[in-house]
Amino acid sequence: EIVMTQTPLSLSVTPGQPASISCKSSQSLLHSDGKTYLYWYVQRPGQSPHLLVYEASIRFSGAPDRFSGSGSGTDFTLRISRVEAEDVGIYYCMQGMSLFTFGPGTTVEVK
Amino acid sequence: EVNLAESGGGLVEPGGSLRLSCVASDFPFDTYVMSWVRLAPGKGLQWVAAISASGANTYYADSVKGRFTISRDNSRETVYLQMSGLRAEDTAIYYCAKNTAHEFWGPGTLVTVSS
């Protein structure tokens, strides 16, 4: 089973400032098809999760362009270029290389 | 726009059974993998089960293997989760999600396992 870890587990950010969340997998998420099966989601209060980034770095349709994903192999990062009030929520990474496993989540608070 | 709507949640006693349904619309349902994911109180998201587009292949998390069964009816554009041998730790909001990327999610249905 692939284990996912995230740091930090909580983050408090001033609006307009950048933020980043790290995600590490216990095995490489680079598939032989050339794709990296790492996804980022946000679950805002009272809502269902929403996909932000797929295949490590491709922003999903509708996700604001202040969100970006990067990384390869086993180390990944989600960056928010300028945090807005609506970005409050819990952010999860997920691997899709071998079935599916979510990271523990990072709670983002906006000051 | 993609629409997913779960139903079938409720209160059930430990050891009991429940069947969840997720009705899909506005996308070619029979061409996509579908998953169930849950969110237990105070915990993070946990993938539960997935089923291939045709229904021929199913996949489960170790924590539910042998107790839960995922199935689908493509003519009804519906995916199901039959849950039996329910335990207190199965208490959660259960979401269905479209595709291996889990790109769209339903609003969820709450399952509470308690005596």
pLDDT digits (tens, 9 = 90+) for B22-69: 999 999 999 999 999 999 999 999 999 999 999 999 999 999 999 999
pLDDT number for residue B1: 85
Note whether B18 and B12 are within 8 A (CB): yes
Q: What is the pLDDT of residues A6-56, one digit of tens each?
A: 999 999 999 999 999 999 999 999 999 999 999 999 999 999 999 999 999
Tokens matching residue A13 = 């950010």
Chains A & B: contacts with CB separation below 8 Å: 55
Tokens matching residue B12 = 């059930």
CB contact under 8 A, B105 and A99: no
Mean pLDDT of chain B: 97
Considering just the CA atoms, what is the radius of gyration of chain B in Å? 13
Q: What is the pLDDT of residues B96-107, one digit of tens each?
A: 999 999 999 999
Nearest to A39 among B102, B106, B107 (CB): B102
Residues of A in contact with B44 (CB under 8 A): 90, 92, 102-105
pLDDT number for residue A72: 96
Taking the CA of residue B7 and the nearest CA in chain A, the distance in Å comes to 15
pLDDT number for residue B63: 97
Note whether A23 and A77 are within 8 A (CB): yes
Residue in B with minimal Cα distance to A56: B101
Q: What is the pLDDT of residues B75-93, one digit of tens each?
A: 999 999 999 999 999 999 9
Tokens matching residue B50 = 């997935």
The pairing of strands B109-113 and B104-105 is unpaired
DSSP state of B88: G
pLDDT number for residue A60: 97
Q: What is the pLDDT of residues A91-108, one digit of tens each?
A: 999 999 999 999 999 999
Cα–Cα distance measured from residue B38 to residue B25, given in angstroms and rounded to the nearest whole number: 21
